[in-house]
Amino acid sequence: MLKVLLVNDTNKQVGRLRASLIQAGCDVVEEVSSAFMIPKRVAELQPDVVIIDTESPSRDVLEQICVVSQDEPRPILMVSDDGQPAAIKAAIKAGVSAYVVEGIDEGRLEAVLAVAQARFEADQTLRQAVKVAEGKLNERKIVERAKGMLMQLRGLNEADAYHAMRKMAMDRNIRIAEVAEKLISMNDLLA
């Protein structure tokens, strides 16, 4: 059973949406009416998905979505009356997984929730891959910097400098990037 935090950012009642969620087998853990409560309630309730019903995504709502996406990432479905491309792009950029215009049909609710969850999982996988790639790139930059430093200080060629760092890493049973960081730190200390 999906735990849902329902956010009513409109002047209307969302009772029909709540009833549709319950009928679809969801557990609506809470309904909040202020965008500023979203991050706190997400952290406390740990819902599986957040559904925001809004006439048009305001700056406050988008900011709170960004906070949630950074601190407590989870699928976010936005149901809005605003079909303007700029509003949709802003919502997606903030962290919305699925954006539905002009209400949500009860028959499509389960499918839309499944799309939001799948989109969220794909985004999380992509973010993790980018994070790993950035980490490897940063390590490579450090190794290159340390290698250049050894070449300059010891008069080694590139292959010999790399071999010296690799041997030190193997002798100490640490990664070559750690050797590079230590060499750079020592050089900075002695400089």
Residue ranges per domain, the chain? Answer: 3-104, 131-190
Q: What CATH architecture applies to the domain 3-104?
A: 3-Layer(aba) Sandwich (3.40)
Task: Encode pLDDT of 23-65 as tens digits.
Answer: 888 899 999 988 899 999 999 999 999 999 888 888 999 999 9
Q: Is 95 left (phi over 0), alpha (psi -120 to 50) or beta?
A: left
Alpha-carbon distances of 12 from 51, 55, 120, 139, 149, rounded to whole Å: 15, 9, 28, 53, 66
Continuous segment of H or E residues that includes residue 62: helix 59-71
Task: Encode pLDDT of 66-113 as tens digits.
Answer: 999 999 999 999 988 888 999 999 999 999 999 998 767 777 888 888
Q: What CATH architecture applies to the domain 131-190?
A: Orthogonal Bundle (1.10)
